[in-house]
Amino acid sequence: MKLDIWTCRPYAEAETAIDEKIQDLRDELVDLNQRAQTIQASADAEKRTLSEDEEKEVNSIFDQFGDIEAEIERREMIAAQSKKLSQSAGRRAAAQEPQASADDDDDIDEQAARQMAPRRRAQSARARESRIEVISPPRGRWGFRTFGDFAQVVRASSHKGAQVDQRLIMNAPTSVSTEGVGADGGFLVPPDYRAEIWQKVAGEESLISRTDQWATSKNSIVVPADETTPWDSSGGIQAYFESEAGQITQSKVALKDKTLRLNKLTALIPVSEELFEDAAGLDAYLRKKVGEKFDFKLTLKLIQGTGAGEPLGILNANSLVSVAKESGQAADTVVTENINKMYARMYAPLIPYSIWLINQDVQPQLDSMTLRVLNAAGTDYVGGGPVYMPPGGLADAPYGRLKGRPVIPTQGCETLGDKGDIIFVALKEYWTGVKSGGIRSDVSIHLWFDYDVMAYRFILRIGGMPWWKDYITPRDGTNYLSWAVTLDERASG
């Protein structure tokens, strides 16, 4: 008597085992990816290419990654087939078979196998064609589909007597002293969510993305710097014309250490019971608001930072040049002469990389600004053509050009009439250092436990300062030149 495979296969147990193994394999992919990122980040921080050993290790990681992905796909196909079979096939009674002698068993088995082979091949083909797609969370999120899903699991696991979700335990920090929480009651946020927030901060609209960015694994960066000009004759490397057979004049480099210390930018966000009930709202709130706040704070300090516990901003740099207002210039105005003189104080090789930063209150001044020329008698100025025009005329957007360089409005600039309402700057001469790994994100379920509120904490270590220690004196002339130029206050006529 033969057993019927339809009544004997333990579908639930097999499916559970397969799902657990697939999750283990996905976790291995996350670990492999983090190893590769660490190797690359180390090389980037030291501004070098991968060593031979590092390249071999990364290639090995790629090979392992591919093998594990293939195994996951195979197991998902098996799980999908098993699930389909368990749903479509009910319990079948064993068929009554005619009695056969022992001598006939081999012939019967061989004949049955030949008859069943075409049917089995057809069933296998149909199973492949109609394979159920197993929808799984993206890699790098430890099994969570959204930030809201993650937050709800953390909260559910925090209740007294609740069973802690295994995804939290497996991915908790290594310093954990209790089963499901760290020393401060924190669970580490899955890495994909950290990446999403950082992309928002460093997006195309961020001024930080225009600076000279360095990644580091330390909390400070020290580099040698040469601050001499090509025409400097009092120090640094010199060049001389020498007579035939004459002794060559020596000179030496003039290097100084430049140190950039990273500062800590943080956001601590309490999330209420009501927000927890709406996972989509929580997800949008955290990613959108934290990104916006970090972006604005970095832009503001890039322009106005004091350098004490925060980046040193453009307006507080010793290398900033500030152009005086025109004689008799009305309060709270920007005139053509201001623009011409600011443009002339930018160090010429930097002009192709420069941009105009303005407060939006300055925009109407630019829109109505025209060239002014003396009349035939030379006694008064008369208006000429427009100085500023958005691309495609006033009907187009978003940014216009002033003397060929983009004009970008930002809330980091001061209001119209104050020093810093308009800045002409080459941001590639501003040095920013970012701690490798970007934003660190943590969640605490205990900080405001008695208020039924969870705390989300985001930390970014970043520093910033101009490369230029001071403005420069031209070879011939008295007007200082710089990488950043602004306009003096115009509070009165």
The neighbour count for residue 217, using CB atoms within 10 Å, is: 13
Please give the single-letter amino acid code of residue 14.
Answer: A
**Per-residue pLDDT tens digits for 258-309:** 889 999 999 888 877 666 666 556 766 677 778 788 888 999 999 999 999 9
Q: What is the pLDDT of residue 171?
A: 61
- How do residues 424-465 score in pLDDT, each as one tens digit? 999 999 999 998 877 888 777 766 766 677 788 888 999 999
Nearest to 37 by CA among 462, 458, 436, 433: 436
Cα–Cα distance between 224 and 204 in angstroms, integer? 30
Q: Answer yes or no: is pLDDT of 170 > 70.
A: no
Asked whether residue 106 carries a pLDDT value surpassing 60, the answer given is no
pLDDT score for 74: 85
What count of other Cβ atoms lies within 10 Å of the Cβ of residue 147? Answer: 26
How large is the average pLDDT for residues 90-119?
51
DSSP-derived 3-state class of residue 482: strand
* Mean pLDDT score of the chain: 75
pLDDT of residue 372: 67
Q: What does pTM read for this prediction? A: 0.60
- In sequence order, which ranges of 9-138 are alpha helices (DSSP H)? 11-45, 52-88, 105-129
Instruction: Please give the backbone phi and psi of residue 264, each rounded to the nearest 5 degrees, phi first.
Output: -105, 115
Average pLDDT over residues 226-248: 77
How many alpha carbons fall within 13 Å on the CB side of residue 440? 13
On the question of pLDDT at 364 being above 80, the answer is yes
Strand partners, 374: 381
| Two tokens, residue 209 | 């993305």
Q: In the chain, what are the domain boundaries?
A: 5-91+114-129, 187-219+262-493, 224-254
CA distance 60 to 230: 48
CA atoms lying within 13 Å on the CB side of residue 152 = 16
Domain at 187-219+262-493, CATH from 1.20.1050, 3.90.1690, 2.60.40, 1.10.3470:
3.90.1690
- The CA-atom distances, in angstroms, between 46 and each of 51, 54, 223, 264 are 12, 14, 11, 22
Q: How far apart are CA 468 and CA 426, in angstroms?
A: 11
Q: Please, what sign has the CA dihedral across residues 141, 145, 148, 154? A: negative
Question: How far does Cα 11 stand from its chain's mean position?
Answer: 44
Residue 380 confidence (pLDDT):
63
What are 323-359's pLDDT values in tens digits? 999 988 999 999 989 999 999 999 999 999 999 999 9
In this predicted structure, what is the pLDDT of residue 418?
Answer: 96
Is residue 423 classed as helix, strand or coil in its secondary structure? strand
